[in-house]
Amino acid sequence: ANSYEEGLTKTRSSFSEKFKMLMANFRAVDEDFFEELEETLIAADVGFEMALKISNELQDEVRLKNASSKKDVQNTIIEKLVNVYDQAGNGENNEMLFAEAGQPSVFLFVGVNGVGKTTTIGKMASFYKKQGKKVLLAAADTFRAGATEQLVEWAHRDQVDVVTGKEKSDPASVVFDGVKKSIDGHYDILFVDTAGRLQNNDNLMRELEKMKKIITRQLPNAPQEVLLVLDATTGQNALQQARLFKDSTDVTGLVLTKLDGTAKGGIVLAIRQELHLPVKWVGLGEKVDDLEPFNADEFVYGLFK
Ligand code: GDP
């Protein structure tokens, strides 16, 4: 699997490259340094106010600790960023939620077109298949031409089963069939791919609620996860999408894709700070192994390696 370190350093303009530059330019704990830190955080899309806040608090902490060496300063920054992430949460962890033994777990994937929903399902299905889970996919994005074929391709690659419907057919019926098959066939996990765009947002949200009801009717405790997939390269736009989806449906966690080669990875902190949703996975490339369970420590350490 791809490590954070590899994934985050794929391009020169990447998120981690900026932090490495910051530390490479380090001379002393002075105004210049903190100004550069602020700029780095803002460029990473942490958000303007939060960048100032982090930088100010770090100045105090560095002074308090009497940190002056590059290594001490770097460690203080790492600690700070991990703390910012942890404290913005509700004490939840990043682990995936599963159904009780003997029942299929249902993971519903939501998000706008092109963020990487289908790809993430393909990667995650492989991840769990390797753990010995019996995995089923449901192609409930019947709106986008080619979406079903794309998921079927992943199913073949992963050698897992997939439920499909005709193009433009009712996605709810694909969901129904998927849930039924997952129960009858004793599957461990059902992954449901959904459409990212209908005529309008109201319509999209209504469709998602309908799907959830269809799932719940057959499996009262499902879906165990409603994962909102966001494209990290879109920065503040991703934050906007997170607001919209969180307001209209019960999102349980986030998948942040395309963190490879983006300088905007700070959006992890911005979204966390505002919406308190746990990031559960990050996408670090287009290949099957380019998906990692999110871990705030590893993520932040990876920035400076
Ligand atoms: P969907 O419309 O949300 O289902 O999005 P897709 O799964 O079709 O992905 C859209 C594009 O993003 C595809 O070209 C994917 O290969 C690409 N993609 C998805 N995840 C990642 C990632 O983590 N890194 C990179 N570099 N590309 C990704």
ipTM field: 0.99
Of 219, 8, 239, 7, which Cα lies nearest the Cα of 112?
239
User: Which protein residue's CA is at the shortest distance from atom 19 of ligand 1?
Assistant: 116
Q: Is the pLDDT of residue 300 over 90?
A: no
Digit-coded pLDDT (tens) for 82-135: 999 888 887 666 889 999 999 999 999 999 999 999 999 999 999 999 999 999
Digit-coded pLDDT (tens) for 190-199: 999 998 875 5
Which atom belonging to ligand 1 lies closest to the Cα atom of 261? 26
Measured distance CA(38)–CA(177) in Å, rounded = 51
112 labelled binding-site residue:
yes
Digit-coded pLDDT (tens) for 6-50: 766 655 457 778 888 899 988 988 999 999 999 999 988 888 999
- pTM equals 0.91
The answer to whether the beta carbons of residues 267 and 241 sit under 8 Å apart is no
62 labelled binding-site residue:
no
The answer to whether the beta carbons of residues 139 and 151 sit under 8 Å apart is yes
Which atom belonging to ligand 1 lies closest to the Cα atom of 229? 3
Q: What is the mean pLDDT of the chain?
A: 90
Check residues 167 and 288 and name the one with the higher pLDDT.
288
193 labelled binding-site residue:
yes
